Structure 1
Amino acid sequence: MPELPEITLFRNYVRETSVGKKITKVEFPETSLLQSPASKFEEALVGEKFEKTERLGKYLGLSTTDKSWLIFHFGMTGKLEYYANQEPPKYAKMIISFDDDYKLSYSCRRKLGKIFLAETLVEFKAENELGEDALQLSENEFLKLLEDKTGSIKAVLMDQHVMAGLGNVYSDEMLYQAGIHPKSRTNHLSASEKKQLYKEMIAVLELAIEKEGVRDDFPEDYLIRHRKDGADCPKCEGEIKQIKVAGRSTYFCPSCQKEEK
């Protein structure tokens, strides 16, 4: 599933291709992902321009010149494609045409994404009870969010109501880099462990954005290049193990990430 770094790449892609262009038509090859009637999207978008685009965790918001917000959630397989003079992508759910004959399509093969309209991004965040974007948190804000949590640290990191943007892959990575077992109870972590986890969260997310999510470009000592049960740990002589945490497949090194007793 696209996580915060991938949403950043989508945001940058839209900024480079689609912001400032007049929208002439909006088409919906399929409407199952729409969270408002198709007519509402057409009314809000046609004749307007995208003014800016912002990331909110796993969501991407595009504001228009009439101040409406088009918001995408990408599910497992959602993606954006900017093109001209070709057939729409196979799994296109929404196609936005511009006055220069280019188009921006939102595709979602597994149909797990969603497309929203909102008056403001702040309102959307409140209505969906989303936490702050993880990469926008200060260390003090991060520590404050964790201080009354008792569940496993991985479950807390992935809870979009606590902080927005972290999913399975990058939460595993930051826990691995911090040397914290994914099942550790959040309230059992020391202050120094929480501070180290914050440091690794920022480092992992920024690196993932820099590397554009390409796993082979990550450093050799990153778990992301060794996410396989039984793989050699790149930091010690142990083996990577797979377990379930919060219902998700979780990868970690039992030697580097000791489980509390």
Structure 2
Amino acid sequence: MPELPEVAYQKKYADATILHKKIVKVETSDKKIYQSAKSEFEEKLKNNKFTGTERLGKYLFLNLENNGVLVVHFGMTGKLEYYQHDEVPKYAQLTLTFEDHSRVSFTCPRKFGKLYLAESLGEFQNENDLGIDALALKKDKFLEILEGKSGTIKGLLMNQKLIAGIGNLYADEVLFQSKIHPKIKVDKLSENEKANIYKEIEKVLEVVKEARVEGQKLPKDYITTVRKKGEDCPRNNGKIEQMKVSGRTTYFCPTCQEENA
């Protein structure tokens, strides 16, 4: 599922392709993608323009010249596709044609993505009870979020109401880089462990974001590169193991990430 770094790439892609172009045609598809009536999307988008983009966690905000923003949640397989030909991509759920005859489609094969209309990023954040963006997180705020919590650290990192942008994949990476077992309870973490997790949130997300935006490979010592049970630990400390934490498939190295460390 696209997480913060992948959505950062989609933001850059949108910035480079679809801004300041008049939308002259709106085509919609499966209604389950749309969080308001499809007719509302058609009405608000036609003859409008995207003037800029913002990102909050896993959401991309396409700011409109008139009538607020189009909000995109990419689900597991969603992406924007910009093109200058007549053949609409397979699995297109929303297709916008611009005055210069170019087009953009939101494609989503598994239909887990969602499209919203909102007044602003702030309004959407409040209405959907989203936490602070993971890359805007300050240490004091992170420690405040941890205070009084007793669930697993992985579950907390994935809780979008607390911190927006970290999903299953990069929660595993943050904890691998921090050498913290994913099942450790938040209230059992030392102050040094909390500080280390905070440091790795910023570091991991920035590294992955840069890799996604620039089309580069991740560092060889990232567990994301070997995400499979029985693979060698990237630090050569044994084998990767798999288990469920907070209902999600989790990969970790039991040597690097000792449960009772």
Structure 2 length-normalised TM? 0.96
Residues 201-239 of structure 1 show CA distances to partners (whole Å, capped at 9, x for unaligned) of 111111111111799811111111111111111214321
Identical-pair percentage: 50
Of 19-28 and 170-179, the range deviating more from structure 2: 19-28
- In structure 2, what is the equivalent of residue 30 of structure 1? 30
What's 2:83 paired with?
A: 83
Aligned position for 1:175: 175
**The 10-residue stretch of structure 1 (206-215 or 92-101) with the greater mean CA deviation from structure 2:** 206-215
| Structure 1 unmatched runs, 5+ | none
Give SS of 1:9's match: helix
1:137-186 deviation digits (Å, cap 9, x = unpaired): 11211121111211000000001111111111111001000000000101
Q: Which residue number corresponds to residue 232 of structure 1?
A: 232
Q: Distance in 2 between matches of 1:161 and 1:84?
A: 39
Q: What is aligned with 2:150?
A: 150
**Is the Cα contact below 8 Å between 1:236 and 1:255 reproduced in 2?**
no
- Equivalenced residue count is 261
RMSD: 1.5
Go from structure 1 to structure 2 and tell me whether the alpha carbon gap of 1:60 and 1:24 turns closer, same or farther (over 3 Å shift): same
Distance verdict in 2 for CA 1:214–1:153, change over 3 Å: farther
What secondary structure is seen at the aligned counterpart in 2 of 1:198?
A: helix
1:89 Cα shift?
A: 1.0
SS for the counterpart of 2:212 is coil
Cα distance per residue 1:112-133 (max 9 Å; x no partner): 1111001111111111111011
- After superposing on structure 2, the runs of 4+ consecutive aligned residues of structure 1 that deviate more than 6 Å are 213-216
The match for 2:192 is 192
Amino acid at match of 1:77: T
Check the 8 A contact 2:12/2:213 in 1, yes or no: no
**142-151 vs 97-106, greater mean Cα deviation:** 142-151
Q: Sort the Cα spacing of 1:191 and 1:214 in 2 relative to 1 into closer, same or farther, 3 A.
A: same
Q: Residue 213 and residue 228 in structure 1: after superposition, are their counterparts in 2 closer, same or farther (change >3 A)?
A: farther
Larger mean CA deviation between 227-236 and 11-20 belongs to 227-236
Structure 1 residue matching 2:60: 3-state secondary structure? strand
Shift of 1:42: 1.8
Out of 106-115 and 42-51, give the one that drifted further: 42-51
In structure 2, runs of 5+ residues without a counterpart are none
Distance 2:127 2:237 in 1: 47
Aligned partners of 2:3 and 2:57 also within 8 Å: yes
Aligned position for 1:254: 254
